[in-house]
Amino acid sequence: MFAFASETAFLITLLNIGFMLFVIFIQRRNTAATWAWISAIALLPIGGFFLYMIFGQDSRKQRVFLKKSMEDEALQECYESMGNAIEGEITDDNRVMLFHDGVSKFDVLLADIENAKEFIFIQYYILRGDTTGKLLINKLTERARAGVEVYLLVDGMGCSFTSHKIYQPLIEAGGFLGRFMPPVPVRINFRNHRKIVVIDKHIAYLGGANIGDEYLGKKKRFGEWRDTHMRLTGGSVSPLTLRFIMDWNCESTEKLIKLPLNICYFSPKSINSTLGAKVRILSSGPDTRYPNILHGFCCLIMEAKTSVYIQSPYFVPDDALFTALRIAALSGVDVRVMYPANPDHLLVYWAASSYVGELMCAGVKGYEYTKGFLHAKTLMVDSKVCAVGTANMDVRSFKINFETHAFIENAPLTQELEEAFRRDMNYCNILSLEKYKKRSVITKIKESFSRLFSPLL
């Protein structure tokens, strides 16, 4: 009996060593992630490797998305040759309307959908089969019956619990449905986290709010839902249109081959919108050469002179972002970070607490939002420049998921976001460095454990 147990333990040890070597050579480009996975395998013999096979496999990314990258580059060249703006270019004829909650955004979105005449491109990470989701599908179905081309793209994992029946009326009315990477064991990662809507060549939506009752504050679990979303018109609509087409063509058999012409024309004046905003649309993900959104964040922070305000539901910065924030704070910049006190992922919460605690030692101010759930993904710098979109301040958004963000140069818009930040401070626990240093041993253990696996969160 003892001999059998010894042989089994020896075999498991050999297998684990083999698994570790496999991870080292497969994951070799990311040292932090490599060490995190090795720790997981060591702590969870055999099981840790199976978790890696489901959630890791960085090398598979290159094979799965190489074809998409090549097709995307060809589309961008064709699109740009038509005179349309593409990602990375700055357009300065934009109007931007901000929404600070899901209700106001959803109401205006439905109104724009009702007025659609040509096409509706709509893409969400989560679309629930609840009252809110059914209302949206009904509106899309009505426009499809009226002859409007409707293309709905949802993420396979984000909508894995949404019944296919909810989409049936839209499909029967002539609309098209695409599922981005349906979840199978090797596709847990690489989720399409974008929320993009384009309507009739001149209206686009981008931001943090998905489609579901909780995003309208109708779920007791989270209470009032605090989010940031945008309605854009002008030149920024062009790259958002192209981004939807590239994502749609990646997964759907119904290819969007024809490109809408003359996307970037100026639309009529919108109530409560900011005119003349300079907007640069950036996307990043497994199909982009660089983590463009992360680079954009770091550039803005490193150029800050007076203030940096950040709101994110998940704050797990990589080394570059963490260093940029620390340098800014040590240089005398007023750096403030806000994240929810009521988390939906405890490991991420404790990791965020660890990072913010360390940053507070450099002078960063930390805030935990207590009035419901904070889901806004915003960065404001010097009351002049801001960034709003789908990417959280975490490693997953920077390097694993598909994300899109708008980087906007406009003082009134940035100041509106800063004012919203200051209002939110009234509903926050203001974090104290003195109190943080006196945290319990149990809290320190939770933070250390979560911090260890932060490259995987």
Catalytic position from the list 58, 382, 394, 424 = 382
Of 100, 105, 139, 193, which is the active-site residue? 193
- Provide the token pair at 189: 């990662």
Catalytic, 195? Answer yes
Q: What letter represents residue 219's amino acid? A: K
Within 13 Å of residue 258, how many CA atoms lie on the same side as its CB? 5
Q: How many other CB atoms are found less than 10 A from the CB of residue 276?
A: 14
Query: What span, in angstroms and rounded, lies between the C-alpha atoms of 43 and 334?
Result: 40
Q: Look-up: residue for tokens 């980087």?
A: 407
Neighbours of 38 (CB within 10 A): 19
Q: Which two tokens stand for residue 317?
A: 């910065």
For the chain, the residue count is 457
Give the C-alpha distances (Å, rounded to integers) separating 206 from 82, 154, 423: 24, 15, 23
User: Which residue in the list 100, 201, 375, 399 is annotated as catalytic?
Assistant: 375
Q: Tell me whether residue 375 is one of the annotated catalytic residues.
A: yes
What type of residue is 18? Answer: G
Query: Which residue in 112, 130, 200, 213 is the catalytic one?
Result: 200
Q: Are 355 and 325 in contact (CB under 8 A)?
A: no
Marked catalytic residue, from 195, 201, 365, 399? 195
**Rounded to whole angstroms, how far apart are CA atoms 115 and 15?**
61
- Is 377 considered catalytic here? yes
Q: Around Cβ 107, how many Cβ atoms within 10 Å? A: 11
Burial classification of residue 292, based on how many CB atoms lie within 10 Å of its CB (0-12 exposed, 13-18 middle, 19 or more buried): buried
Rounded CA gap, 358 and 354, in Å? 6
Dig out the tokens for 441 from the structure.
Answer: 């041993």
Round to whole Å and give the CA distance between 87 and 99: 23
DSSP conformational letter for 129: S
Beta carbons within 8 Å of 56's beta carbon, 6+ residues apart = 23, 26, 27, 33, 37, 189, 456
Q: Tell which residue, 253, 308, 245, 295, has the closest CA to residue 399.
A: 295
* Sole residue written with tokens 């703006």: 85
Is residue 200 annotated as part of the catalytic site, yes or no? yes
d(CA 436, CA 439): 5
Q: Spot the catalytic one: 139, 201, 377, 384.
A: 377
Is 16 in contact with 46 (CB distance < 8 Å)?
A: yes
**What's the DSSP call for residue 115?**
T
Residues with active-site annotation: 193, 195, 200, 375, 377, 382
